[in-house]
Structure 1
């Protein structure tokens, strides 16, 4: 399984949001790969309890997921969502749902304290069988980090404006 993604990362230190684009892949059930292609090249692979980050011209860095519980939770939630494994999703999150089959929202609230220290909540927006947007909030920043996926990522090809990006995420845009 694979899907394109586009993220806008906002920071008080940046004049304009940083726009990242690339692809998420799930080559095996217990492996998640995030490949950033622009504005730089970086591949993060989460597998076997570890995350490995690779950048051209640099030695790969590997660390245990116990040092980054948000990555372990991301891998588990992606895997559970893609395979329809509600039991695994419930192991990491309390799940709240709203909307219809054609316009739905799932909110994931961390169950484990170590994950809750890093992630306040994750909100997934979709249409039909397509996951179109992931919004992640941290305990220290109420503004969500948005990742557009699949058709929403394609529609965001030329969007750099945070409000239009949010509208695509929430399904409020005709793009």
Structure 2
């Protein structure tokens, strides 16, 4: 599978919105934490992550800064240099949505496999600062639809385990409505959801 084929299908104009369902697991939690909301990319250099449930929080990454706003609290702003994994996220989203493999490869080693109907692209950080926090990112999709992002942290959690953070996007996020079982959500991420039953 050629990464260029995937990137050409994912390329979109600057303004885009997509719903998401994010699952954060930890052995310290009785059940995975489930967040839902919307990603917005209104301009090439701006990425907004708008969490709507179970709480309201907006994270805006723009011009080298991160701004986090939560209802009833003062906004926090800090430099992206303090959070290299967020800088990598912004760069990777921007490069993915521009279909720009060269820019993506400035930050990650890129490998892809699968078919046009069901593909996987793995991004491995080049920067040691990012690699210290993130082993890699696996993107999963069908045709032109990016359906799931799996981020694997570099360090274990307090229980000693490493838990994937899964973000279901677009059609997969819609299919996740009402599903609470972690194994079913993992299967949906991997392409074994309602559309393939």
* Structure 2: unaligned runs, 5 residues or longer: 1-15, 157-161
TM-score w.r.t. the length of structure 1 is 0.97
- Give the Å deviation of 1:102: 1.6
TM-superposed deviation, 1:13: 2.4
SS in 2 for 1:120: strand
1:138 maps onto 2:189 in alignment? no
Aligned counterpart in structure 2 of residue 50 of structure 1, from 65, 81, 95: 65
Which residue is 2:37 aligned to? 22
Partner residue, 1:161? 181
Which structure: greater strand fraction? 1
8 Å contact from structure 2 (residues 18, 40) kept in 1: yes
In 2, Cα distance between the equivalents of 1:105 and 1:13? 29
How far did residue 174 of structure 1 move? 3.0
Supply the distance in 2 between the matched residues of 1:8 and 1:116 (Cα, whole angstroms): 21
Q: Which runs of 5+ in 1 are unaligned?
A: none
Shift of 1:104: 0.8
Instruction: Check whether the contact 1:8–1:145 (CA below 8 A) recurs between aligned residues.
Output: yes
Structure 1: distance between partners of 2:107 and 2:84: 10
| Superposition misfits of 4+ residues, deviation over 3 angstroms | none
Which residue among 132, 135, 138 is the counterpart of 1:123? 138
- Whether the 8 Å contact between 2:25 and 2:163 is mirrored in structure 1 is no
CA RMSD between the two structures: 0.9
Indicate which of 59, 63, 75 corresponds to 2:74.
59
SS of 2:147's partner is strand
Say which structure, 1 or 2, has more relative contact order (CA 8 Å, 6+ apart): 2
The alignment of Structure 1 onto Structure 2 pairs a total of residues equal to: 175
Deviates more, 1:161-170 or 1:141-150: 141-150
